[in-house]
Amino acid sequence: MVELDKEELRTTLADVIDVAPAEIGDSTDFLDDLGVDSLLLLELVVVLEKRYRVKFSEQEMRTARTFRDAYALLGGKLVVSG
């Protein structure tokens, strides 16, 4: 089972979005606060799916708007798949 490290996830997302990890707080909204568009969101999903060996539905991608949402969603997937 892959354990989900919050700061590692924050750093991974920051690398893809091209911002400093400190800019991604728990309640940071990817779209409103960081300007993530649909193409960059898709890139984030692909990176997370490959890194953590999970799959996200289109609905899940749309509902995970904040770092907290993404962490909870990914953590839930790892528990189910692990």
Q: Please report, for the chain, the start and end positions of each structural domain, with discontinuous segments joined by +.
A: 6-19+26-81
Q: Is 0.85 surpassed by the pTM of this model? A: yes
36-72 pLDDT, tens per residue? Answer: 998 999 999 999 999 999 999 989 988 899 999 999 9
CATH 3.40.50.460 matches 6-19+26-81: no
Percentage of the chain modeled with pLDDT above 70? 94
pLDDT band of 82, cuts 50, 70, 90: low
**Coil, strand or helix: which one is 47?**
helix
Indicate the pLDDT class of residue 2, thresholds 50, 70 and 90: low
Dihedral of CA atoms 29, 46, 15, 78 in degrees, nearest 10, equals 80
Average pLDDT for 23-34: 97
